[in-house]
Amino acid sequence: MACAFLPIIDFGAYLDPASSSEKRLAVAHEIDKACRYPGMFYLTNHGVPQELWDKVRTCAHQFFQLPLEEKNKHVVASYTRGYWHVGPEEHDNRGEGIAFHPPVNCYSNGLARKADPNSPSARLPTSPDALGDQNSWPSDEFRAVTEEYLDHVLRVKDRVLEAIATSLDISNESLKRMQNTSMSATINGYPASAKGEAEQRGINLREHADSGCITFLNQDLGAASLQAQDREGVWRNVQPIPNAFVVNVGCVLNKWTGGQYIDVIHRVIHRLEKPRVSVVAFTNPPFDGIVEPLPEFAELCKGQAKYAPTTFGSFLLKQIGDYDGPLES
């Protein structure tokens, strides 16, 4: 059963070239309504092939089943890349994950803090950047499957943002700005709970809003582990449904729309007696891109400090520092 808190939006009519403009507009308005509240929705008939949808999680399960010694080979000095693991001695963020983010040292503000800006090597895609060391892929197959999957999500993202732009009635220039985004991914693994300990377990991933534009979640089926906060502050379970993205608004989209779209707060509490994998695809603006309300919505939040212009890089690094502490390397 799906979460009654979240709408289920069939994207097929929007993607179908034979659909009428009225049908596509109706889907666009559904997405717009969901982004305004609750800031999260299910998306079905999105066009990602079923085999690839399942395979990216299968690869993740296989990786997380490896010995910790093997997985630790992919630890890098970064909060947005590489493998991480938090043991049961921690009260929050129990679990493990591996993350991938494209290089940002191609941007004016993306060099590593200790890098020589005059050195050509500082801008190589293999060199450390403002987010730390670069990606570490477990295998060629893992990389191929993940990158193919993200390519499909990228196309879905472009069409979803196109639908949003239609509902918001923004200019082509503003649409281009919204679509000038890249993909990053975090693949999370949550351990099974032993019999009798489920109720004693704490939070696996503590509450937060995503920093980027819009997020696409592909998760294992089973009991709800993801929870979203409603406007009364109540935590609502988000039950997985087959072959459906859970899509949520991030902080950047909230800022672009002058606060009209809700960057929903969410968390994970996993208490099943089997492990859970989730594949989270984030869409982010350029690292040196200015994050501020689009011209169409500037008057909605004029003078509010929350919506003051900042680069995405500065905003992301501040969020990382607030959540995990400053990156030392």
Is the pTM for the entire model greater than 0.75?
Answer: yes
Containing structural domain, residue 173: 8-324
Task: Give the pLDDT band of residue 192 (cuts 50, 70, 90).
Answer: confident
pLDDT of residue 326: 45
Task: Give the pLDDT band of residue 70 (cuts 50, 70, 90).
Answer: very high
Helical axes 21-36 vs 140-168, angle rounded to 10°: 100
Average pLDDT over residues 209-236: 94
pLDDT of 197 strictly over 70: no
Whether 194 maps to a domain, the answer reads yes
Whether 2 maps to a domain, the answer reads no
pLDDT of residue 149: 98
Whether 1 maps to a domain, the answer reads no
Whether 295 maps to a domain, the answer reads yes
Please name the residue ranges forming H helices in 220-296: 251-256
Average pLDDT over residues 59-64: 98
Give the CATH number for residue 288. 2.60.120.330
Give the span between the Cα atoms of 144 and 162, in whole angstroms: 27
Q: pLDDT averaged over the chain?
A: 91
pLDDT of 147 strictly over 70: yes
Burial of 296 per CB tally in 10 Å (0-12, 13-18, 19+): middle
Whether 329 maps to a domain, the answer reads no
pLDDT of residue 200: 54
Give the span between the Cα atoms of 303 and 104, in whole angstroms: 31
Facing residues of 10 across strands? 44
Which has the higher per-residue pLDDT, 205 or 221? 221
Give the span between the Cα atoms of 237 and 211, in whole angstroms: 22
Average pLDDT over residues 66-70: 96
Task: Give the pLDDT band of residue 244 (cuts 50, 70, 90).
Answer: very high
Query: Which of 95-104, 119-128, 177-186, 317-326 is least confident?
Result: 317-326
pLDDT tens-digit series, residues 41-60: 999 999 999 999 999 999 99
Task: Give the pLDDT band of residue 320 (cuts 50, 70, 90).
Answer: confident
Whether 3 maps to a domain, the answer reads no
Structure tokens at 280: 């989270």
Residues in the chain: 329
Whether 255 maps to a domain, the answer reads yes
pLDDT of 328 strictly over 50: no
Tell me the percentage of the chain whose pLDDT exceeds 70.
91
Whether 302 maps to a domain, the answer reads yes
- Pairing between strand 235-237 and 8-10? unpaired
pLDDT of residue 24: 97
Average pLDDT over residues 27-39: 98
For 150, the enclosing helix (H) or strand (E) is helix 140-168
User: Which distant-in-sequence residues (6+ apart) come within 8 Å of 83 by Cβ?
Assistant: 71, 72, 73, 74, 75, 76, 96, 97, 98, 136
Average pLDDT over residues 296-316: 92
**Structural domain tally of the chain?**
1
Task: Identify the DSSP state of 299.
Answer: G
Peptide bond into 67 cis (omega under 30): no
pLDDT tens-digit series, residues 74-133: 999 998 999 999 865 554 557 899 999 999 999 999 999 999 999 999 999 999 999 999
